[in-house]
Structure 1
């Protein structure tokens, strides 16, 4: 599905959040590898589960066509620097909800890009009759957990010993969900 573009200026940075477009597929594989290597908050390490330009192009096309999918990019000077996805199911019993994920290049943290991607996703979900958004977040990502709580997400569960990080220790993943107030 597609949303209208929105411009932001936060802490001196101008950026746009818009629906992903076919042209973004050129940048997304490299962006994903870069972001995966900058933090351990995500599931993958840099270079794992690589996507090609064709994979990204196919994903964008599918997300634009599916009524319960959304693929957003945050762009600076027409170059994607972050993205968020909401992915719904074609199964009738699961069609009321989407899974949300977000990532932003580390050198752009502190400009509310992740927050604004989340806000745009919530607005889209509420407008389109999505009853529930769910996400997973690493227990050590306290800033994200607080943001999600501020946006109406509640802790629904804990996946114990879910991630093995570079320090050799296991960490829990927190499962969170937000029920739409527009029910």
Structure 2
């Protein structure tokens, strides 16, 4: 999906650019994922699992191209200059199967130093708008049970908890954390 760049203003009064990304943004996107995954355990992988070598960049370019070429999926990022500071992805839950073509899932990541500026609100709202425009009727997501800020945001945006998988994530320290699954009718 291609989205025309648009300017957004955050709580700090600063203006940023929000736009869709594609293969040319692979390095910047992997940098975002590396930092966010290194700064918090709330992501599905650790920072050292983000492959930023040549093979990893090429794989990410291919993945971003597939997403950019699909009108029903999106990678939307917020930039501070040339640096991606936040991203939201909307993925089809089963577009190749008619029974699930009405469902999509969402994932979000924001750099630590940009949290608290309202980017989460802006990105989730844009993801919901995109999903509705794309004909989805149901949006799903997963969130770790100890991620109170994200859970609060999702609830404020109308998501409802529908399940919990105990011990879904096991941290390197041995601690286990439940994953909460949430949905929103669009």
Tell me, yes or no, whether TM beats 0.5. Answer: yes
Kindly indicate whether the alpha-carbon contact (under 8 Å) linking 2:22 and 2:67 is maintained by their aligned counterparts in 1.
Answer: no
Task: Give the distance between the partners of 2:162 and 2:72, measured in 1 at CA.
Answer: 22
Kindly indicate whether the alpha-carbon contact (under 8 Å) linking 2:120 and 2:153 is maintained by their aligned counterparts in 1.
Answer: no
Report the equivalent of 1:46.
47
Partner secondary structure for residue 18 of structure 2: strand
Partner secondary structure for residue 29 of structure 1: helix
Give ranges in structure 2 of 5+ residues lacking alignment: none
Report the equivalent of 1:85.
89
TM-score after normalising by structure 1: 0.91
Report the equivalent of 1:28.
29
Kindly indicate whether the alpha-carbon contact (under 8 Å) linking 1:68 and 1:98 is maintained by their aligned counterparts in 2.
Answer: no
Partner secondary structure for residue 74 of structure 1: strand
Task: State the shift of 1:166 in Å.
Answer: 4.4
Kindly indicate whether the alpha-carbon contact (under 8 Å) linking 1:96 and 1:131 is maintained by their aligned counterparts in 2.
Answer: yes
Partner secondary structure for residue 153 of structure 2: helix
Partner secondary structure for residue 136 of structure 1: strand
Q: List, as ranges, runs of 4+ consecutive aligned residues in structure 1 with deviation greater than 3 Å.
A: none
Kindly indicate whether the alpha-carbon contact (under 8 Å) linking 2:30 and 2:50 is maintained by their aligned counterparts in 1.
Answer: no
Task: Give the distance between the partners of 1:4 and 1:156, measured in 2 at CA.
Answer: 34
TM-score after normalising by structure 2: 0.90
Q: Note the aligned Cα RMSD (angstroms).
A: 1.5
Task: State the shift of 1:168 in Å.
Answer: 2.5
Give ranges in structure 1 of 5+ residues lacking alignment: none
Task: Give the distance between the partners of 1:45 and 1:79, measured in 2 at CA.
Answer: 20
Task: Give the distance between the partners of 2:27 and 2:148, measured in 1 at CA.
Answer: 32
2:125 matches 1:122: no
Report the equivalent of 2:155.
149
Give the number of aligned pairs: 180
